Structure 1
């Protein structure tokens, strides 16, 4: 597939995520998709595999994190790799703490399907927002 087609697949992937179109999203990803979210001490960190892993992390994201994207992301592509560059703001629902996250998604597209997603995010900002405030506890 062409670089332009790969960018369109990634744009469609982000649109499906944004509109909670689960079937449309699954149609765009390979059955053995791998999504790596770095970090620890925050709800979404880990490696998520396959359609079941993708559905689980998206459900968890919806339940645990409120996120907005104040600006449209930038798409940079070469061959089967598409980098998506953006910023997210939001809060972790359990702590009600806000975060600002400058991020890059490195996405691989093969045979018309998203096969790998690797996030590069501000893990410290997200972990800090996920920390419970223990100072108010006895």
Structure 2
């Protein structure tokens, strides 16, 4: 499992550096944590791919690839935070509203694991069984 704090620390340390300093700093993270860093022949145009903490960044240069990695890593953290919020909220179904349960279930269905999705479908089905029919207006 990926340690989100390591990812956040890495992003923060990269943000404190200039773009020109980032490649050598990122390479040190790759050596320390494991990942991939390109060996690039000089003067040859190609796509650069970097990988760290199971997150990949792509670009036409190491600087662009690291910038892309930082964006992807930030999205990974945001997604994990949304999932954790949804999972925690659903542990208290008697406290939150059916509408909030439905919102958190949709997050689990779209971003979560297959187990999350299964739980979300079960909860949504349970909510549907307990809803009172809405009166129709003629």
TM-score normalized by the length of structure 1: 0.26
Which structure exhibits the higher relative contact order, with contacts defined as CA atoms closer than 8 Å and separated by 6 or more residues? 1
Greater Rg by CA: 2
The structure where helix makes up a greater share of residues is: 2
